[in-house]
Amino acid sequence: MKLPKFKNEPFTDFSKPENRKKMEKALAKVESELGREYEIVIGGERIKTDEKFYSYNPSKKDQVVGVLQKGNAELAKKAIEVANDAFKEWGMTKPEYRVKIMLKAAQLLRKRKFEFAAWQVFEVGKNWAEADADVAEAIDYLEYYSRWALHYAKGAPVVKYPGEKNEMVYIPLGAGAVIPPWNFPLAILLGMTVGALVTGNTVVLKPSSDSPVIGAKFYELMKEAGLPDGVLNFITGPGSTVGDTLVAHPKTRFVAFTGSKEVGIHIYELASKVQPGQIWLKRVIAEMGGKDAIIVDDEADLDSAVKGVVVSAFGYQGQKCSACSRAIVVESVYDKFIEKLVEETEKLEIGPAKENYPVGPVINAGAQQKILSYIEIGKSEGKLLTGGEAVRQDEGYYIKPTIFADVDPKARIAQEEIFGPVLAVIKARDFDHAIEIANDTEYGLTGSVYTRNRKKIEKAKKLFHVGNLYINRKCTGAIVGVHPFGGFNMSGTDSKAGGPDYLLLFLQGKAISEKVK
């Protein structure tokens, strides 16, 4: 099976009237479908529970996006058992068969790009460009991982040895749990799930309770693409019961998780405990957040740096693990940078995602309250330059983009992940001091450096300890195949999603030797 060379899915240009009309039509279609009920699906069986929960639009907090089933431990156990049974057949299928299904899913998703983007506008408050980029990334994962699955199906080269025929092949792990976040409700959910499926594993998917409808839409997409029953099972419900049951079950072979550090650590610990009847050590793939920094050198293009910081800090309301939450600025340009930064930030307008404002809502009431509590802490740890308050509170969960200056590198708002539109600006004596500050957190996901000095760039490449380092550009917006994504330290297991190594996390090597003489 030979496929054309991989190409990234292009982003939609919404300045074109025809694209705006398509998006408006998709928004109207999705809005007409809000409030529908979605079932748990295990082995093709559709299940309703007595207890329900609701997904709400964070831009319009009383608007129900969907009604979901509140799954329990028994259903989670059933899902893993069914996935294990399905693995016996799915794990033996030819890679070409699996790839055809993934490519069919990519084709379907491409046709419904605006519709899937519109669901994100309503369920998680992404503006049009952010939602479109999420769908484009999801299409990329389907295409990119399909090609790498065919590559690994060829096995690995081994050294020739007299009298023997030797080979090394890659085989799937088994049945696993995929536990994705709400902030990239299609891209990350799909990327982790497809990485497992295309390599021959089966999956129990438990989406975030803040974005379960998009998870249900993805399940339906994969079914339409031809995925057999039981290969992908869909269950909604609380992480404390459904999620923990999936992670702890002795027949769970792997767990793929993206989310907070606290939940990631809990999953890592729970998965490490060998349960009665368990015959393997579970593999955990975890991406867990960051406290990402952009260094602005005294030899930087300040206008470019300001734009990069603003987009990285406040794009999607700072709700990205890659978001810039620390700007570390060399003191000789500190005041000038801050002046430009505040001016650029205050241009940002706030409003509903459906109306495509640059800044929309944060995900829910709990997130809003947490962010506001950090803003109160920040008022005692730095100088509030702009923002610092909730707005449009009768509509949704909106917070003004907030900047604190003169923040100590050890302050809480400079060390703890806030996951909202809050930026701490820190003064550095020089470039070396800036790198020292940047590295001084427990995280190590993304980082960026703005400087024209080649020697400083080379120094940063060696010393700035992050999984994804960017030079003279923003620290968000990793593209599949271009920027393999994953971080160091408490940012996770450095999975490098969207990179050539990622599928190996769902495979195990088997060496086979046959005596021929």
Give catalytic residue positions: 287
Token pair in block for residue 139: 């299409």
383-386 vs 402-405, strand pairing mode = antiparallel
Token pair 């979901």 in the structure block, residue: 68
Cβ neighbours around 492 below 10 Å, total: 27
Residue 263 to residues 40, 179, 256, 416, Cα–Cα distance (Å) = 23, 11, 12, 15
Cα–Cα dist 321/313, whole Å: 11
Please tell me what DSSP assigns to residue 228: P
Q: Where are the alpha helices (DSSP H) in 59-201?
A: 73-90, 95-111, 113-124, 128-152, 187-198
DSSP SS3 for 490: coil
Please tell me what DSSP assigns to residue 391: E
Cβ–Cβ under 8 Å, residues 352 and 59:
yes
Cα–Cα dist 375/379, whole Å: 6
Token pair in block for residue 208: 């975030």
Closest of 476, 425, 421 to residue 447, by C-alpha = 476
- Which amino acid appears at position 411 of this protein? A
Token pair in block for residue 4: 């054309």
Cβ–Cβ under 8 Å, residues 341 and 306:
yes
Cα–Cα dist 289/254, whole Å: 20
Cα–Cα dist 170/151, whole Å: 10
Token pair 């799930």 in the structure block, residue: 193
Say which residues have a Cβ less than 8 Å from residue 343's Cβ, sequence separation at least 6. Answer: none
Cβ–Cβ under 8 Å, residues 199 and 172:
yes
Burial of 279 (0-12, 13-18, 19+ CB in 10 A): exposed
Cβ–Cβ under 8 Å, residues 431 and 407:
no
Burial of 106 (0-12, 13-18, 19+ CB in 10 A): buried
Total residues belonging to the chain? 517
Token pair in block for residue 343: 């001016």
Q: Kindly report the CA angle at 30 between 138 and 63, in degrees rounded to 5?
A: 110
DSSP SS3 for 5: coil
Cα–Cα dist 98/287, whole Å: 26
Token pair in block for residue 103: 């490519």
Please tell me what DSSP assigns to residue 355: G
